[in-house]
Amino acid sequence: MNNAAMTETPTTETTYQQLRQRHIAHAATLLPPMLDRLTWPADRLAEHRTTELRRLLRVARETSPWHRERLAGVDVDTVDESDLTGIPVMTKDDLMAHFDDVVTDERLRLDVVEDHLAALTSDAYLFDRYHAAASGSSSGTRGVFVYDWDDWATAIWTFQRHGIRGAQSRPAAEQVMSVVVVGAAVPTHMSSSLPQTFSMQDAVSKQIPVTRPTAEIVEGLNEAQPTVLVGYPSALHVLAAEARAGRLRISPQVISSTSETLLPEIRAVLAETFGAPVVNGYGASEAAAIAIGCGVGPWLHLSDDLVIVEPVDVAGRPVPPGTRADKVYLTNLFNHTLPLIRYELTDQIELLVDDAPCPCGCTHRRIADPYGRLDDTFTYGPIAVHPHLFRAPLSQRAEIVEYQVRQTPAGATVVAAATGPFDTAALAADITAGLARVGVPDPRVDVEVTDRLPRPASGKLQRFAPLA
């Protein structure tokens, strides 16, 4: 049955809307247990993860040829989180090289999914039940992911359940949320397709393309008066400058930062400028929201009921709470269509040492803002330079609202957009001195000033661009 005759029949707009309405109704039934699990005691969550892990491994062993081989030595009926190290890790390269053997529905061949993604002009179903997403990584391999009916509905709540829980505790009059997303509509990316599947008429939600001129974005926001402002931190930083200059006049109750690393200096500026909680999200096409902020403090709660997150060092050894990991092994417990088991993500996360309960009442473990992807590190021969070396002097110049650091063979070119003049030579000298200090021989740094940094179609600003 797995042949050319199984090609997809085109889904009409009517069919799409019918499927979507059914999907919204079904998603509503999944929300109460997901809200409930936010406050389960830690041991009950651990037990739940073990049950779900065994379920995932059984499905993977029975229906994924690639996983079957790798799980040959694992007793899936007794395995628990402490035995994970006995299971080999997988990378995005593994996934893309063996995609057809990883998926548990043989119709979902990579060429079929790629054709579906290539034809997307807006959100659409594949085989009337699946959703596909691609991660447009600014550096490294592109990843392709598929979600089944339940998984896609679960995915939307991973992003929204903390906000819903918070809103429920507020007076009814304040529960009407006007959400404005300053982002990018890329139909292949989960961040635009997922909200589109589940968008409802009674929710006031609007998207302003981040690629528009700043004045137009400001005008759109002044008109919409959002109670929740969602955006990339690099874009929110620019908007904070607009607010300080008196041009942007909004009073959001929540600022929500997505997609890019939320640098501590930007978090501070946003909180101070808007006087509202800054909620950060750690999302990935691999598992939707892996962690999300509750707004009480500068931390995020892991999705402790839906994923297993192993913070590890460069060599893959477990890293304890209080230490920043170099990368993460992720096991997505809720997607049985594309089993991701100990899947490597190059994000640097840090579990908080303090395991006291969060004042918000959620029991899920907390992490600090993830930052400085390994991919952002510049290497000059044997010398690795952490992005912080550039960030620190850049963040000291309050005039600079947006920047990109492009690695060059001998150093870097910094392109900055600023609200006023600053001493470019002094900035170049500071960064040059930093590079010399860590041993980069004869570093050379140029600083260029621009009105606006070019954003790719994804809208995401690549702050650090290593040499290819």
- Residues in touch with Zn ion (CB under 5 A): 294, 296, 358, 360, 362
Closer to Zn ion by Cβ: residue 280 or 407: 280
Query: What is the closest distance, in whole angstroms, from the C-beta atom of residue 361 to Zn ion in the complex?
Result: 7
Burial 160-173 (b: 16+ CB within 10 A, else e): bbbbebbbeeeeee
For the bound state, the minimum distance from the C-beta of residue 14 to Zn ion, rounded and expressed in Å, comes to: 42
Residue 352: left (phi > 0), alpha (psi -120 to 50), or beta?
beta
Q: How far is the CB of 50 from Zn ion (least distance, A)?
A: 24
Rank residues 153 and 292 by Cβ distance to Zn ion and give the closer one: 292
| Residue 293 CB, nearest approach to Zn ion (Å) | 8
Distance (Å, rounded) from C-alpha 130 to C-alpha 116? 11
Q: How far apart are CA 202 and CA 329, in angstroms?
A: 38
- In the complex with Zn ion, the residue whose CB is nearer, 336 or 366, is 366
> What are the beta bridge partners of residue 330?
309, 343
**Nearer to Zn ion by C-beta: 367 or 447?**
367
Least distance in angstroms from the C-beta of 309 to Zn ion:
17
For Zn ion, which is the closer residue by CB, 362 or 445? 362
Taking the least distance from each CB to Zn ion, the nearer of 294 and 418 is 294
CB 309 within 8 A of CB 349: yes
Min. distance of Cβ 354 from Zn ion in angstroms? 12
User: In this complex, which beta carbon is closest to Zn ion, that of residue 340 or of residue 360?
Assistant: 360
Q: In the bound complex, what is the minimum distance in angstroms from residue 150's beta carbon to Zn ion?
A: 26
How far is 347 from 339, CA to CA, in rounded Å? Answer: 20
The angle at the Cα of 282, spanning 101 to 256, to the nearest 5 degrees, equals 140
Q: How far is the CB of 198 from Zn ion (least distance, A)?
A: 24
The answer to whether the beta carbons of residues 233 and 261 sit under 8 Å apart is yes
Q: In the complex, what is the shortest distance from the CB of residue 364 to Zn ion, in angstroms, rounded to a whole number? A: 8
How near is the Cβ of 318 to Zn ion at its closest, in Å? Answer: 24
Query: Which residue number, 262 or 394, has a Cβ lying nearer to Zn ion?
Result: 262
User: Could you give the dihedral angle defined by the CA atoms of residues 163, 165, 166 and 170, in that order, rounded to the nearest 10 degrees?
Assistant: 130
Our CB check for Zn ion shows the closer of 39 and 137 to be 39
Beta carbon nearer to Zn ion, 246 or 359 = 359
Residues in the chain: 468
